[in-house]
């Protein structure tokens, strides 16, 4: 098991939602937490919360992970301030929540810039040090949409399928070249944060809207135990097996479960 006491944990998109919840959880277990975010007010507020809770010298940096120049500059600043990163959590994400023809070109590009391409920029900024030290952990927050496409999530689902492939390929590379550096991919159903405000579920017992504190706890525990994949809730883990069925049957099951109606009342953060 990995102990976090004294280890440097960096979380992108760490000033709100599941990112903030993870920052609190890692800090509570003794991690030295750094967070990156675009929203300065949220960043400062989260740092104050961490300090009040007794976190050891938390650091916060403004960074748009979609801009690789900002990522590389923020990476240099972060390491200079807090030392090499031991656990990297690629958490920053955006969602548009509209049908394909309602999406603007700019929103599609932004989705892939933040949800997919940033994985490359951020990971490339910190991975060489992990490989050199022969230790480290790269966590990719994907989505249940990395396993099944959902109506009104064409750009989001595609970006998260790419995130899943990113993790899997990176895991294979590191197994060959740096087995001491681990990866974990996380695929949760909708989390009850502002990002997915308005989503609904037809069967709350089978597919509950997840509590952010619960998800953060499960993620930190998965990293601690070296788990390579975390699917939440358990029903999400059945999706790969359901794909054995004919497409028409698979689509019927997904629709019956209400998945393709889940975004009908989506509002998001506005």
- Helix, strand, coil % over all residues of the chain, rounded to 5: 50, 15, 35
DSSP, residue by residue, 181-203:
EEEEEEEES-BSSGGGTT---S-
Residue 241 to residues 179, 185, 187, Cα–Cα distance (Å): 29, 18, 16
Q: Determine the 3-state secondary structure of 143 from DSSP.
A: coil
Q: Which of 156, 161, 166, 189 is catalytic?
A: 156
Q: Of 166, 169, 218, give the one whose Cα is nearest residue 189.
A: 218
What is the pairing mode between strands 87-90 and 229-232?
Answer: unpaired
Residue 55 to residues 31, 51, 66, 254, Cα–Cα distance (Å): 8, 5, 28, 42
**E-strand stretches of 24-164:** 32-37, 59-62, 87-90, 136-141
Does 156 participate in catalysis according to the annotation?
yes
Active site residues: 156
């Amino acid at each position: 098991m990995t102990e976090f006491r004294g280890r440097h944990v960096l979380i992108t998109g760490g000033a709100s939602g599941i990112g903030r919840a993870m920052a609190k959880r890692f800090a509570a277990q003794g991690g030295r937490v750094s967070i990156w975010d675009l929203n300065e007010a949220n960043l400062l507020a989260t740092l104050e919360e961490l300090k009040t809770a007794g976190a050891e010298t938390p650091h916060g940096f403004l960074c748009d992970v979609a801009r690789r120049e900002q990522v590389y500059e923020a990476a240099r600043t972060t390491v200079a301030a807090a030392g090499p990163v031991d656990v990297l959590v690629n958490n920053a994400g955006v969602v548009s929540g509209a049908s394909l023809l309602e999406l603007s070109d700019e929103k599609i590009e932004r989705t892939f810039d933040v949800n997919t391409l940033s994985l490359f920029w951020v990971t490339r900024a910190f991975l060489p040090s992990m490989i050199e030290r022969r230790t480290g952990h790269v966590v990719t927050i994907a989505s249940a949409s990395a396993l099944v496409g959902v109506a009104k999530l064409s750009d989001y689902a595609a970006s998260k399928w790419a995130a899943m492939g990113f993790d899997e390929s990176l895991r294979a590379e590191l197994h060959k070249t740096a087995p001491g550096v681990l990866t974990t991919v996380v695929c949760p159903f909708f989390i009850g944060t502002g990002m997915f405000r308005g989503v609904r579920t037809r069967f709350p017992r089978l597919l509950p809207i997840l509590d952010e504190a619960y998800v953060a706890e499960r993620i930190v525990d998965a990293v601690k135990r070296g788990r390579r994949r975390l699917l939440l809730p358990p029903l999400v883990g059945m999706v790969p097996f359901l794909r054995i069925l004919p497409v028409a049957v698979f689509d019927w099951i997904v629709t019956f479960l209400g998945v393709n109606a889940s975004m009908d009342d989506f509002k998001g953060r506005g």
